[in-house]
A = this chain, B = another copy of it.
Amino acid sequence: MSKKYVEVVVSRSKSVMDYTLEVITLLNQGMDEVKIKGVGREISKAVDVYNSVKDRLGDGVDLVNTEIGTEKGKKTSYIVITIARKY
C-alpha cells in the first residue's frame, strides 16, 4: 500500500493558525503524511505550525522526521518537518 502525502509550504502571507487548520484538514481527509516546509525566515513559522498541530492533535500525530539543509543553487536554508497520522 502506497502512502499518500502532501507538502505544505509555509509563506509569509498566511498565519500559523491558517496553516495549522490546513494541516489538520489534510490529515483528516486521509493523508498519511504531511510535510511542512519553511524556507529562510519562514523556518521558525514552520516549527510554530508543527507545535500548534501537535498541541491540538497530541498523540494523534507523530513526528516522523525533521530535515534541514540548503536549497540547491541558492544559499537559503530550509526545514521540512514530516508528520504522520497515527490512527
Tell which of B38, B54, B68 touches A50, judged by Cβ atoms closer than 8 Å: B68
Q: Taking the complex as formed, is A81 at the interface, i.e. its CB lies under 8 A from any CB of chain B?
A: yes
Q: How far is the CA of A41 from the CA of B42 in the complex (A)?
A: 9
**Interface size on A (CB < 8 Å)?**
22
Q: A63-B68, A68-B81 are in contact. Are A44 and B40 (CB under 8 A)?
A: yes
- B70 x A55 contact (CB < 8 A): yes
29 CB-based A-B contacts, threshold 8 Å = A38-B44, A40-B44, A41-B41, A41-B44, A42-B44, A43-B43, A43-B44, A43-B47, A44-B44, A44-B77, A47-B68, A47-B77, A47-B78, A47-B79, A48-B77, A50-B68, A50-B77, A51-B68, A51-B69, A51-B70, A51-B77, A54-B70, A55-B70, A63-B68, A66-B66, A66-B67, A66-B68, A68-B81, A79-B79
